[in-house]
A and B are shown apart, each in its own frame.
Chain A
Amino acid sequence: MSDPRLPRATVNAALPEDVILDVRNLRTYFPTRTHVVKAVDDVSFQLRRGRTTCIVGESGSGKSITARSILQILDAPGQIEGGVIRLRSTGRDAQGESIVDLTSLHPRSRAIRAIRGRDIAMIFQEPMSSLSPVHTIGDQIIETIRLHEPVSKSEARTRAIELLRRCEIRDPDIAVDRYTFEFSGGMRQRAMIAMALSCNPQVLIADEPTTALDVTTQAEILDLMRELQTSYGMAIMFITHDMGVVAEIADDVVVMRHGKVVETGEVNALFADPQHAYTKKLLDSVIKLERRADIKPAEAAILGADTPTILAVRDLSVTFPGQARFLRKPAPGVHAVRQVSLELKKGESLGIVGESGSGKTTLGRAIASVRAPTEGNVLYRGKDGVEVDLADLNGPALQAYRRRVRMIFQDPYGSLNPRMTVGQIVAEPLRNNNVATGAALRARVADLLEQVGLPAEVMERYPHAFSGGQRQRVGIARAIALEPEVVICDEATSALDVSIRSQVLDLLIELQKKLDLSFIFIAHDIGVVRYFCDRVAVMRLGEVVELGPASQVCSAPEHPYTKALLSAVPHPDPTARSMHLRTRYSEEAS
């Protein structure tokens, strides 16, 4: 008897010495009114001390539900239907180990609560919403410590500060009394990790912990996790959809699809010789994005000296005014875009790359005339050959400009009105601009849907019936409905699974050839830009730090910031882990 709190469900079967958690034939179902969703269907894997196991899969593969099943923190109506989850639990108070079957414990029992946070800790994807906004960081860490260990408040506080220091948070004794909204995303995730480590867990479950972060921040967090694993010796279960991250940190890999494990293996073996067709497909679609698309003509063919410029941005600045203050001058504004100049050649794809807050989206919106620039001009020379300045346009002329320059948005869920059918969504710009009515309109919509690879019958259906990739196709059909010349894609593929991503990119390339489009492609993902773009502008803090042909910027960057950005991108090759060799960019170095 190791711990009076967890005696009941002891399973005594042989378990290899270094296995801490053993999941056998786990099945977790979500019964709905009409049928049962088998979110996790017969999943088995093991977590070993000191090793990182990556669970990789696309959205809906059941990887998060697996993690939640281990801790029994499933949202209703999810239920564990069968299987065994054995945890080797070390008694804290001294003698021996015991093996507990977690599935036999009631989700609200004291026994499972004693394991959560103490033996198995978990960190989540969204560091902003995963921490309470109205409690201090310290409060939330101290609480975890005191839940599991009989220590005084001041003792727990000292430990919390030490944990924050271990997680490389600056001035931990001040940070402990701060609120989450005073922290940046990376800092929040560090605080989250500090909280997870507060009771020395044997297992750390990380559910997409770096997905919401910039690549440079992601690299820092992965570094930190690796280092903490070395010193704490815990087993890490790392859930991700990013094969690059898997190659960078995994020791073992579990590939999941539709709630089932399709392949398990050691990372080098799995990458070198994937057995299952799905693993191969997943790896191929990632590797495909590592270089320029085959179906694109050569860079030089597009960037010829005689290619006319279709759109030019001259010294463009956008400033967000500061908040009005009582009896005082308004707060200083934010310079989202500063003095940016660039040109878009006819028929090219210009990538705009940058981390969050770099001003890339604001720049795109200024060009699309969604937001008026504070200074500078956008000059546009369309098919008719007349150059117009966006600032001088109004009324019908502005409407004409907006027909020529269209946008595709990031979120395929939020950017389609859920109460309109797909047909109505695609027809809306045509209707608003009185392009077509009646049967002609229907025929045009059907044609547009066909062009983006959707059958015409989908017209009558609502967006909720479609997957993310299909919805993004609808968004593309809407964008090309008015036969534009310039299309601005704002992170158009970021929310899509990797196998879908290359399909959508290929579709855009096809359309570009067919409809003679020029793209401004805003992205945070260098891989996508390298695949899709001819030239790349790198933005940082509202300025363009580097602009050049994609082949040059992505393989031989000149600016130190671009170098740092590129070196932080994980590559899907476990034999050439390079992230720890990355260069860092600091203000002084520039």
Chain B
Amino acid sequence: MLLSYIVRRVLWTIPFLFAVSVVVFALIQAPPGDYLTTFVAKLAESDESIDQATIEVLRERYGLNEPFLVQYWKWISNLVQGDFGQSFEWNQPVWELIASRIPLTITLMLSTFVFAWGVALPIGIYSAVRKYSIGDYFFTTIGFIGLAMPNFLLALVMLYIGVKVWGVHMGGLFSDEFEGAPWSVAKVIDMYSHMWIGIIVLGTAILASLIRIMRANLLDELSKPYVTTARAKGMSEWRLILKYPVRIALNPFISIIGLYFPALISGAVVTAVVLGYPTLGPLMLQSLLAQDMYLAGGILMILCGLTVFGMLISDILLAILDPRVRYE
């Protein structure tokens, strides 16, 4: 039952990713001009020029003057075979550029995820069980400050505090001595000693809503008759709360993983630019500015793929957690 559910869910991602690819490609093509127009403009800025014939030859070679569908078909048919094309600007295969940055990107996202959910769960439970207590108000206030403050602003504030208080620049992910060094335990520790800022910046943005969701769900469940039943059995209060209402209140908490994944990813782009992280975010911004279409398309596809994957994970978790989902 569970297996067939997972298989069905996985199969559904195929048409979904296909639809995403069409939208991604259309969006990249949407701004006027192409990579060469941007390229010419850039050259003109530095008082260099290139004659029209050369541009036309280049355009011909890159296939930029072909109709949308033909270009899309070329791109997608190669993509299916694992070929993301060539970056105009970097003159390197797109996949190589992306691949070098994927591990750090995923590490940042998963760490943020673990931080946000790990912190929100106990606070949410506490806030619901001790409704309207001082602790409840305290956490709610902190959460809303995090929610109200834009990511990039918080990142800038943290950098400013770093310089003012400790006199160090806290951007980047590695200290100089570890830059380019092979991976080791010491390097991972060094990375996290930098990355925690990014994790907190990204995490606080969703922490407040996660706490509120957990709190509201649990409050609904706490007054349900099955809680009274468990109490009438003679269970201790905390044990029964954790076993029954929390277990059921977890459902929405899990299912919003899929919803917040995209928010996490897009938030990570801006934050990574501000904090100077070598993740996919800054690379994507650059590629979009330069209209480096294969690179931008590749990154967008990877990010969408991660989002779809995140939703898949949350759906499967939900099915494992709640028998009612499995049996539908």
Contacts and interface: CB of A to CB of B under 8 A. Distances in A.
Contacts of A135: 243-244, 247
Nearest to A114: B234
A444 interface: no
Interface string A192-204: 1001000000000
B37 to A, nearest CB: 45
A108 interface: yes
Nearest to A127: B225
Interface string A93-124: 00000000000000010000111111001101
B61 interface: no
B228 to A, nearest CB: 6
B247 to A, nearest CB: 6
Given A130-B226, A133-B324, A179-B323, A117 B248 contact: no
Interface string A132-144: 1111000000011
A129 interface: yes
Given A132-B244, A134-B247, A124 B229 contact: yes
Contacts of A124: 225, 228-229
Interface string B136-170: 00000000000000000000000000000000000
A448 B8 CA distance: 57
Contact of B234 (A115, A126, A181, A326): A115
Interface in A172-197: 179, 181-182, 192, 195
B224 A129 contact: yes
Given A130-B225, A179-B323, A73 B232 contact: yes
A452 interface: no
A71 interface: yes
B236 A73 contact: no
Interface string A326-343: 100000000000000000
B235 interface: yes
A116 B225 contact: no
A124 B232 CA distance: 10
Contacts of B247: 132, 134-135
A108 B129 CA distance: 15
Contact of B226 (A113, A129, A148, A182): A129
Contacts of B270: none
Interface string B309-328: 00000000000011110011
Interface in B4-63: 8, 11-12
Contact of B248 (A108, A115, A121, A132): A132
B232 A126 contact: no
Given A134-B247, A179-B323, A147 B235 contact: yes
B217 to A, nearest CB: 13
Contacts of A108: 236-237
A21 to B, nearest CB: 15
Given A124-B225, A129-B224, A134 B233 contact: no
Nearest to A119: B234
A87 interface: no
Contacts of A144: 233-234
Contacts of B224: 129
Interface string B241-256: 0011001100000000
Nearest to A75: B223
A130 B233 contact: no
Contacts of A113: 234-236
Contacts of B231: 71, 73, 116
A289 interface: no
B232 A116 contact: yes
A47 interface: no
Contacts of A114: 234
A134 B322 contact: yes
Contacts of B244: 132, 135
A192 B226 CA distance: 11
A131 interface: yes
Interface in B237-290: 237, 243-244, 247-248
Given A108-B237, A326-B12, A131 B226 contact: yes
Contacts of A148: 234
B232 A147 contact: no
B232 A117 contact: yes
Contact of A143 (B225, B232, B233, B322): B233
Contacts of B328: 323
B135 to A, nearest CB: 17
A410 B52 CA distance: 79
Nearest to B239: A147
Given A124-B229, A326-B12, A147 B234 contact: yes
B322 to A, nearest CB: 6
A19 B60 CA distance: 100
A143 B236 CA distance: 12
Contact of A71 (B232, B237, B324, B327): B232
A179 B243 CA distance: 16
Contact of A131 (B229, B232, B243): B229
B233 A117 contact: yes
A407 B125 CA distance: 44
Interface string B192-230: 000000000000000000000000000000011110111
A425 B96 CA distance: 67
Contacts of A132: 226, 230, 244, 247-248
Nearest to B222: A75
Contacts of B8: 326
Contacts of A121: 232-233
16 contacts: A73-B228, A73-B231, A113-B234, A116-B232, A116-B234, A121-B232, A124-B228, A124-B229, A133-B226, A133-B323, A134-B322, A143-B233, A179-B327, A181-B327, A323-B328, A326-B11
Q: Which 4 A-B pairs have the closest CB atoms?
A: A116-B234, A117-B234, A117-B233, A113-B234
Given A129-B226, A134-B247, A134-B323, 12 more contacts: A68-B228, A75-B223, A121-B233, A125-B225, A130-B226, A130-B228, A132-B230, A132-B248, A133-B324, A134-B322, A182-B327, A326-B12
Interface of B: 8, 11-12, 223-226, 228-237, 243-244, 247-248, 321-324, 327-328
Interface of A: 68, 71, 73, 75, 108, 113-118, 121-122, 124-126, 129-135, 143-144, 147-148, 179, 181-182, 192, 195, 323, 326
